[in-house]
């Protein structure tokens, strides 16, 4: 019975992680701006949660050639989007803290886990809806000449989110050979193959 409860808990946590990854598009969008910020002409980040207005304006101008009117509208969209999503992100954080409090118990109440994870899912769905609306409004701001570059940029972010077709997993296995010393063996497991393949350990 205890094993079943643990399995259900693990399943619930995995579901939360998957729902959290749904919002990765915006995260990568923000990380892109932070990367751009390392260029000398960019402003230093003014917030840990969103790229500053000057940084976004520079990228929208350099990459998509937005004019002043478009930049003003984009700035308004940014402020509204950040204000709306912050409330939801704060709610998700509170729910995750509640989930952690259940995690660190010997016999977690699976009813509570289900209620909390369902709440996270609802909030995440709201967040994703706002993200979609925000990017769609940005796309509508672009004219016919600007849209191809904007679409290519968004698609490039989506591609970064896609799982690799073949994911290499490394496992370090220690085996006692009876000589008083442990030998370290490195195993490589490529997704889609029948099993791990032993390889020589790295040179000391």
Q: Can you give the pLDDT at residue 162?
A: 67
Tally Cβ neighbours within 10 Å of residue 9.
Answer: 19
Q: Which residues contact 31 (CB under 8 A, 6 or more apart)?
A: none
At residue 112, the pLDDT reads: 94
Percent residues over pLDDT 70 in the chain: 52
Q: Reading across the β-sheet that carries 168-176, which strands appear in turn?
A: 168-176, 182-190, 197-199
DSSP code for 106: S
Percent of the chain as helix, strand, coil, to the nearest 5: 65, 10, 25
Cα→Cα distances 162→28, 45, 127, 131, 171, Å: 12, 28, 20, 18, 23
Q: What is the mean pLDDT of residues 22-37?
A: 49
**How far apart are the C-alpha atoms of 44 and 51, rounded to whole Å?**
9
- Residue 50, C-beta contacts closer than 8 angstroms, at least 6 positions apart: 30, 78, 82
* Residue 121 pLDDT class (50, 70, 90 cuts): very high
Question: What integer best gives the mean pLDDT of the chain?
Answer: 71
Comparing 27 with 53, which gets the higher pLDDT? Answer: 53
Closest among 49, 57, 42 to 26, alpha carbons compared: 49
Query: What's the pLDDT score for residue 6?
Result: 52
Across 166-181, average pLDDT: 47
Report whether pLDDT(187) > 60: no
Half-sphere exposure of 89 (CA within 13 A, CB side): 13
The token duo for 100 is: 């952690």
Which is more confident, 24 or 146? 146
DSSP strand E in the chain: where?
Answer: 168-176, 182-190, 197-199
Q: Tell me, what's the pLDDT at 165?
A: 40
Return the percentage of the chain with pLDDT > 90, whole number: 40
153-160: average pLDDT: 82
Q: Output phi, psi for 108, to 5 deg.
A: -65, 145
Tokens 């892109």 correspond to 32
Tokens of 182: 């442990």
What's the whole-number mean pLDDT along residues 117-140? 95
pLDDT at 2: 54
Mean pLDDT for 122-144 is 94
Contact 184, 172 (CB under 8 A): yes
Q: What residue segments make up the domains of the chain, in order of their start?
A: 2-161, 168-199
């Amino acid at each position: 019975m205890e094993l079943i409860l643990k399995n259900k808990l693990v399943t619930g946590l995995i579901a939360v992680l998957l729902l959290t990854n749904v919002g990765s598009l915006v995260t990568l969008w923000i990380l892109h701006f932070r990367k751009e910020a390392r260029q000398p002409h960019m402003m230093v980040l003014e917030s840990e949660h969103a790229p500053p207005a000057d940084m976004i304006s520079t990228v929208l101008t350099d990459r998509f050639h937005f004019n002043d009117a478009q930049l003003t509208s984009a700035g308004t969209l940014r402020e509204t989007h950040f204000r709306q999503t912050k409330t939801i992100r704060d709610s998700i954080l509170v729910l995750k803290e509640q989930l952690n409090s259940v995690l660190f118990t010997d016999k977690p109440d699976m009813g509570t886990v289900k209620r909390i994870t369902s709440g996270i899912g609802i909030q995440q769905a709201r967040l994703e809806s706002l993200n979609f609306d925000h990017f769609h409004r940005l796309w509508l701001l672009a004219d016919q000449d600007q849209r191809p570059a904007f679409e290519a940029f968004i698609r490039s972010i989506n591609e970064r989110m896609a799982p690799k077709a073949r994911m290499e997993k490394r496992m370090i296995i220690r085996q006692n050979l009876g000589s008083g010393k442990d030998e370290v063996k490195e195993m490589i497991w490529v997704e889609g193959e029948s099993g791990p393949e032993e390889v020589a350990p790295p040179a000391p």
